[in-house]
Amino acid sequence: MGCGTDGRRKRTTLLGTDTLSNRMELPVYLIGYMASGKTTIGKLLAEKLDWPFVDLDDAFAELYGYTTGEYIRQYGLEAFRKKEKACVEMLSELPIQKVIYATGGGYPCWEDNMECLKELGTSFYLRWTPEQLTKRLFLSGIEHRPVAKRGMLSAEGVTDEEKMLHFVRRHLAERTEYYEQAHYIIDAPEELHESNDATMAEQLFQLIKRL
């Protein structure tokens, strides 16, 4: 499958008086597992850069009139992935390219989506350990995360946290090969703290300024 309307897309590069060099391809895509902070970190980064931020799950809902969960329940996962890909490609054709996009956690892992993201812009993987992600999932709540809820119910363990950790380890291992194809990897701090997202947003900001 191609990227964009004809399988090719002219990449937009920051030039001239911008703080970024001519190696920075736009837009920016943040990828990572559930609870990796794509939305929170993306908003903080967008504020620092004074660029728009778009959560692709929200964009999907606006385009198609269904939340991602509603669409999957109504039409199935395969149909959802096709629509999700079309959504990303449509947005990539917009004339405004100084944008921070947060993708869904499973988006990079379907067909050639990761290759497409790398063609369409610059991708950053927000990397956390399974233990960190498990704690963040419980802190943020799993009520709105059907994948996490189903995974926990089918996983091994005595406590809910043990079951979630078992599921996250297995599920993340399946996705890591896709995530690690990103142009850049941003590792989370070792210790969990409420300032972690702000720290990673600053790391991204400093990295992007150097590119």
Q: State the CB neighbour count (10 A cutoff) for residue 113.
A: 21
Cβ atoms of 56 and 88 within 8 Å: the answer is: yes
Q: Which residues contact 203 (CB under 8 A, 6 or more apart)?
A: 186
Tokens encoding 193: 């703290």
Strands (E), the chain: 12-13, 25-26, 28-31, 53-55, 100-102, 122-127, 184-187
- Percent pLDDT > 90 in the chain is 72
pLDDT in tens, 62-92: 999 999 989 998 999 999 999 999 999 999 9
Residue 28 bridge partners (DSSP): 100, 122
pLDDT in tens, 88-146: 999 999 998 899 999 999 999 999 999 999 999 999 999 999 999 999 998 888 777 87
Cβ atoms of 27 and 99 within 8 Å: the answer is: yes
Cβ atoms of 87 and 56 within 8 Å: the answer is: yes
Is residue 9 scored above 60 in pLDDT?
no
